């Protein structure tokens, strides 16, 4: 009945929606990186079981949520001591003042 | 040094839903629309702040180049969705007022106004395509 390409297109669209949901989780981890990571709360707000959230996060970003937040803290501490900007930031105006 | 007369004219961000991106840049950030061509997802929109007529952002369909393979196109759209592809840096003198106005329009907040250790105060949002829109304070 359905053309096979429709099924593939639907699966691809669902995958993009799932990735966008993970992006919101990651952005929230970035915002709250100084607080203890609460995967259960993140999963609840993303309407996902915690185990599934951790697996999907690892698959998308190459690290578990715990490993990711630790990497962010290390990166943050390194930047604080070296004054390096993070990706998506630029110290242009600061350095030209 | 050779003196050249070159300006930064247009930079490009990808969209997935042109109407949603248009609403974000026009209605939320308050940019004017300078050009709107194409239809469906193959739409090219030129927007920019009214007080800066010589510099524009082109919102373009991703991976429209026919030399991009299907695998590459999938990678690009997935990176956009997961928020690791496009980004842009804007600036304003009124960071807190801008943040409040953008947040009030239900934009996806990435970061509240924050003093960064490298001497910049900025905030960040996602546009509807997942591009990171970082806004820093001019001071």
Q: How far apart are CA B64 and CA B60, in angstroms?
A: 8
Output A68-74 pairs: Cβ under 8 A, ≥24 positions apart: A68/A26, A68/A29, A69/A29, A69/A33, A69/A37, A72/A29, A72/A30, A72/A33, A73/A33, A73/A34
Give B91 or A32, the one with higher predicted confidence: B91
Tens digits of residue pLDDT in B6-58: 999 999 999 999 999 999 999 999 999 999 999 999 999 999 999 999 999 99
**Binding-face residues of A in 37-56 toward B, CB within 8 A:** none
Q: Which residues pair with B137 in a beta bridge?
A: B92
Confidence class for position A1, pLDDT limits 50, 70, 90:
low
CB pair distance less than 8 Å for A93 and B120: yes
CB pair distance less than 8 Å for A90 and B89: yes
pLDDT value at B123 more than 80: yes
Tens digits of residue pLDDT in A3-14: 888 898 899 999
What's the average model confidence in pLDDT over B70-98? 97
CB pair distance less than 8 Å for B77 and A17: no
Confidence class for position A76, pLDDT limits 50, 70, 90:
confident
What is the predicted ipTM? 0.88
Strands B108-115 and B121-126: antiparallel
């Amino acid at each position: 009945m359905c053309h096979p390409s429709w099924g593939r297109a639907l699966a691809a669209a669902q995958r993009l929606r799932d990735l966008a949901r993970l992006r919101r989780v990651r952005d929230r981890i970035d915002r709250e990186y100084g607080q203890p990571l609460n995967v259960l709360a993140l999963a609840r707000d993303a309407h996902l079981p915690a185990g599934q959230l951790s697996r999907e996060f690892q698959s998308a970003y190459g690290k578990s949520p715990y490993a990711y937040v630790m990497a962010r803290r290390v990166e943050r501490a390194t930047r604080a001591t070296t004054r390096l900007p993070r990706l998506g930031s630029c110290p242009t105006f600061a350095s030209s003042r | 040094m050779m003196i050249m007369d070159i300006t930064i004219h247009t930079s490009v961000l990808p969209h997935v839903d042109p109407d949603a991106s248009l609403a974000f840049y026009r209605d939320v950030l308050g940019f004017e629309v300078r050009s709107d061509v194409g239809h469906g997802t193959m739409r090219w929109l030129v927007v920019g702040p009214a007080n800066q007529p010589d510099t524009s952002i082109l919102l373009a369909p991703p991976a429209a180049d026919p030399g991009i393979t299907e695998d590459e196109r999938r990678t690009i759209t997935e990176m956009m969705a997961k928020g690791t592809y496009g980004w842009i840096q804007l600036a304003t003198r009124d960071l807190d007022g801008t943040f409040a106005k953008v947040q009030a329009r239900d934009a996806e907040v990435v970061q509240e106004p924050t003093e960064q250790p490298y001497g910049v105060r900025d905030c960040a949002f996602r546009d509807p395509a997942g591009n990171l829109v970082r806004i820093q304070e001019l001071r």
